[in-house]
Structure 1
């Protein structure tokens, strides 16, 4: 018991020193390297006393600390260089609560909160610079994502409706939040790097935002523009498509983690080939620079509604095809869905595998077929919108990937699939 108590006090002291070090380094006049450890220890001791004498001890301690902060600020307000910021005062109150929670709550949570407070205090300049870079359009993107994820999602009913009882509004919108979130991550990464993003980073960001939109943007740049390198454009389109395979595996991991051991290996085999092929092309591409075209906001409500409608249609079509046409009918749905949005069929197949409505050996094949159909669709877009040279390069790269995908669909051994699935399942 005593050892546990000293461990708690030691953690409290360490967290206080961590925050105090940062405040001292930032030249805070109110509290620094000595005061913050005392505040955190004060909270811990108050928590210990509250266990024996009641919660009123914590309330008195908090009021006392607040009174000290008010008195200190009153004295400092007479100085000509007085700073009216409340960061240090708020940090002091938080660290008092962290010290108390070490005793009365979960110590892991308390440590995480204390460490997060220290990091946030340290990142003052970086956060201020980030906010300064955010324009009206970026702020609108953030607020739109808040509406999509924190306003709309919680109020949707978590219940199945419609034919085959497969249309769950909450689950459908949850997939929308996932896809929009991935796109928003890529969008803000683009805002950080902007047009400075070169070939490799441009392809990665394009794949996170939308590999199809990236293919359209770069294909158009080669049409009638002699100063645009067709090799660079083809490579960016290819890299974005490679990242889309990463997205597919990540989406399966989030939606149906238990199926990952079965689904991931064949998809990873295609991805490995794409990485090797892309690395070889990147090595021989030369040293030309490239800039990313302007990217749109992926968190628009219209975009979310369209994806939600596509996902719901794919879920319904999959259930219908399975009921009326059997397993072969699912591949028709996969091809049609893959032509427009591979995310929809990926998420749909993942959920069906997770619920046991389709076998995992069929599920990964559906996803791979959809991904291959999406490559064909993007190659067609490049052919229509881009120059002949960029189409030839993209078509060659995609043809090699498609050939590998067909071989995997045909030759992938089910025994190896089972062994890998069991091995990864045991790890989880």
Structure 2
């Protein structure tokens, strides 16, 4: 084969090969740190070879990939000859590095970079992942398999579009919401199991992502001993659970309805800032929070069929109720449904509001306000749980914090749409910078 007769633009080719080399050095650094035979230089060379193959063309890319495959065979033969175990993980990493280099040579950037970061993370977290997998219980494994079945097997079998006599139910939309909410809880459960509670940050924040009410109830119950440090830990943990709930609901809007998320950005940011301010008002907040005596906050299993049916049923009820309330009573009816939904499940209520915008049942600003109302209802419902502590000072402090969050959140929600309209009218070029169009 002769070299292809093309004129390579020097800056573009240099950028592609430099990206390939950087990604190879990233994974090679991790292998070098672990004392592997294929380390920093080897992986750098492999990535650079792959980049050159991608620049030269498909034939050279295949040839270089085959040569890297032979290199992995030679590496494992040498290891086996010295009565050592085969380097299967390193061999797989070498082949992936070569493919990523080829992608870089062809002009890809985000895809090979993401792949190499993920591979490096898997290699670096070997001990954590091994310990986690060995510590899996049978129920946890069943939960993971059930989540996979619901996402990969059942979802494609559901009918597309709206069904029913009034076209109010969209099975796939409801199921996507179920999988999304359950996936957040599952990922959080994995982090919880890998890293433990590790003090108030992990107990409050990660617990709030799964279920803020459960976390608030547990932390409030631990403040019954009247110890100052325990009360301070419960105070901060409850605020962190509230902040985690707001982040989760805002994240659902970003994924399911970006236009609603853009309109709701101001109230959610304001509520998060107020929550953070009250967190740092605590006089013990500057202490090392990893030593907070929160103990273990028990979480349910990462996923179960009952949880899936619960989320799906709540979502469908709120979706249908929102449409009917909007048609019968206008915006006020939808807001009432949002309040009720926030008390039952704020995540399902926010997802229902996003789905109603997607099918054109309600305008963007109504869905945005409904999502904020559902989140505020979730904040308010936690106050009766705080009273479990039987600590007057803690209840008073948290009541004042929740009241401030609610009032400022409502004000921000009322001002969000006029403020966004004002900015779009008076800031030239702002509309082009927004990721989605905003109907005014």
* TM category, shorter: 0.7 to 0.9
The alignment covers a number of residue pairs equal to 418
**Alignment correspondent of 1:206:** 207
Q: 1:201 to 1:46 in 2, by over 3 A?
A: closer
- Which deviations, in whole Å up to 9, do the C-alpha atoms of 1:47-73 show, x marking residues without a partner? 56665xxx5x66565555544543553
**Alignment correspondent of 1:332:** 336
2:85 to 80, 83, 86: 83
Contact 2:260–2:364 (8 Å) recurs in 1: yes
- Which deviations, in whole Å up to 9, do the C-alpha atoms of 1:364-411 show, x marking residues without a partner? 32223323333332223444x4426354544343334344445556x6
Deviation at 1:310, TM superposition (A): 0.0
1:70 to 61, 70, 73: 73
**Alignment correspondent of 2:275:** 274
Deviation at 1:18, TM superposition (A): 4.7
1:180 to 182, 186, 190: 182
Q: 1:36 to 1:334 in 2, by over 3 A?
A: closer
1:295 to 284, 296, 299: 299
Aligned positions of 1:50-65 closer than 5 A: 51=58, 55=59, 62-63=65-66, 65=68
CA distance in 1, matches of 2:65, 2:332: 67
CA distance in 2, matches of 1:343, 1:260: 14
With 189-198 and 400-409 compared, the bigger mean Cα shift is at 400-409
**Alignment correspondent of 1:427:** 433
**Alignment correspondent of 1:191:** 193
Find out whether 1:263 has 2:264 as its counterpart. yes
Find out whether 1:28 has 2:54 as its counterpart. no
In the superposition, the TM-score normalised over structure 1's length comes to: 0.81
In the superposition, the TM-score normalised over structure 2's length comes to: 0.79
Q: 1:157 to 1:222 in 2, by over 3 A?
A: same
- Which deviations, in whole Å up to 9, do the C-alpha atoms of 1:55-99 show, x marking residues without a partner? 5x665655555445435533542324x222312322333334334
1:415 to 413, 418, 424: 418
CA distance in 1, matches of 2:238, 2:89: 46
Deviation at 1:328, TM superposition (A): 1.8
Aligned positions of 1:178-257 closer than 5 A: 178-198=180-200, 200-222=201-223, 225=225, 229-230=230-231, 232-257=233-258
- Which deviations, in whole Å up to 9, do the C-alpha atoms of 1:91-142 show, x marking residues without a partner? 3333343344444573553454345444544444454455455555554444
**Alignment correspondent of 2:384:** 380
**Please, which runs of 5 or more residues in structure 2 have no aligned partner?**
1-6, 435-440
Contact 1:261–1:421 (8 Å) recurs in 2: no
CA distance in 2, matches of 1:306, 1:378: 20
**Alignment correspondent of 2:316:** 312
CA distance in 1, matches of 2:366, 2:149: 36
With 267-276 and 341-350 compared, the bigger mean Cα shift is at 267-276
Contact 2:20–2:105 (8 Å) recurs in 1: no
CA distance in 2, matches of 1:189, 1:360: 34
| Structure of higher CA gyration radius | 1
Deviation at 1:340, TM superposition (A): 0.8
SS of the residue 1:196 aligns to: coil
Deviation at 1:206, TM superposition (A): 2.2
Contact 1:259–1:354 (8 Å) recurs in 2: no
CA distance in 1, matches of 2:379, 2:108: 49
Contact 1:258–1:425 (8 Å) recurs in 2: no
Q: 1:320 to 1:39 in 2, by over 3 A?
A: same
CA distance in 2, matches of 1:119, 1:149: 25
Deviation at 1:12, TM superposition (A): 4.5
Aligned positions of 1:113-192 closer than 5 A: 113-114=115-116, 116-132=118-134, 134-136=136-138, 138-162=140-164, 164-192=166-194
Deviation at 1:212, TM superposition (A): 1.0
**Please, which runs of 5 or more residues in structure 1 have no aligned partner?**
none
Deviation at 1:185, TM superposition (A): 3.3
**Alignment correspondent of 1:366:** 370
2:94 to 92, 95, 117: 92
CA distance in 2, matches of 1:45, 1:320: 61
